[in-house]
Amino acid sequence: MIVVTISNESFGQKTSDEYWQAVLLAGSYYDNADYKEAAKAYKVAFEIEYPEEFENDRLFAAASNAMIENEEGVF
């Protein structure tokens, strides 16, 4: 099990590093077929407003949610 703590250090603003940390963690979960944890990690990433987000991130998030039958997470 991989545990990553994503903290908020600058007055409530999240950084691009935090976004990429969450996306990389989600991708790792996805690659290991842990779709429930992948969906959670993608949700954390998307709560961080980051303009350089990739469309594939949303695609894998939707696929993760579909695999765990979470209709609300499938856009």
Instruction: Tell me the C-alpha distance between 66 and 61, whole Å.
Output: 9
Per the DSSP assignment, residues forming a β-bridge with 10 are: 13
For the chain, domain boundaries: 16-73
pTM for this predicted structure: 0.68
> Does the pLDDT value for residue 12 go beyond 60?
no
End-to-end CA gap in the chain: 28
Task: Give the pLDDT band of residue 47 (cuts 50, 70, 90).
Answer: confident
Mean pLDDT of 47-60: 79
Pick the closest to residue 46 from 54, 70, 12 (CA basis).
54
Bridge partners (DSSP) of residue 49 are none
Bridge partners of 13? 10
